[in-house]
A = this chain, B = another copy of it.
């Protein structure tokens, strides 16, 4: 953790204020150096009050993603978020992480962008990612899974996203297979899982996550209003993006640990409980092919098991799902 991050941690741990002398002692730097870091943080938008009796006190935080701040809030995870980078703008955070992966970056690296110029969803579709309206980020994983088991990671990401959103907003997110998070039937977040593999060995997986956080109803593009929403619209108030980002990374770390420890069954049970697709009659379009039937459950690889009209059980790993009324 950098000194800025340590100071933010100390300020949060002492909401009543902490003296410059105490900070200097904890961090083993001079009081003048503490003051200089406080000035840095103020320039980033942190409202830090200073007074003779309270010392330094954190009175307000910017609505910005700052790597040091995220590290300070995260305060240690097993894998995910050991390395966090924030870009003001990128074409696509998945592409940035792909490049990091090829340059040998360790797993758990996370790249956020305040905005993406070419954010993408599944099947090459566009994902709108304007500045500060949401969280757009990607995570590098190097799991010891067979390529066919990587669907497990999409499943685990969905449960992690749901828990994090619920903890920060008290909303009740639902999952639409394979990768959508809905609130009241409208999409609020999505997961794009990209895989680099040999036939029998995963080299790396990139989880791309997009969460529509602080769009107001008027800001959502007209074409999306029927099918999409934001946490702010649903919760009735803005949501802290840094707090949500940290919550998501922590929950992702927990669920990734469960998958790596062979406890995918636990994750799958939680997923099925939140999934609006399971138990429903659905139509799934996969390229030119179309399958109809009842979505029964997930198999151990994370694929959807669909009972077709002929009673046959099909294993489906992707496609566009339409729920029948």
Contacts and interface: CB of A to CB of B under 8 A. Distances in A.
Interface of A: 98, 102, 122-124, 144, 146-148, 150-151, 154, 178, 192-201, 203, 286-287, 317-319
B195 A196 contact: yes
B148 A198 contact: no
Number of copies: 2
A141 B192 CA distance: 22
Give 5 closest A-B pairs by Cβ, nearest first.
A200-B318, A195-B197, A199-B318, A193-B199, A196-B196
Given A287-B144, A317-B148, A178 B199 contact: yes
Nearest to A150: B199
Chain A binding site: helix, strand, loop or mixed by DSSP?
A: mixed
Contacts of A123: 198, 200-201
B144 A147 contact: no
Contacts of A197: 194-195, 197
B151 A199 contact: yes
Contacts of A286: 146, 200
Most buried by B among A147, A151, A192, A198: A198
A123 B198 CA distance: 8
Given A144-B287, A147-B147, A148-B148, A195 B199 contact: yes
A33 to B, nearest CB: 43
A151 to B, nearest CB: 6
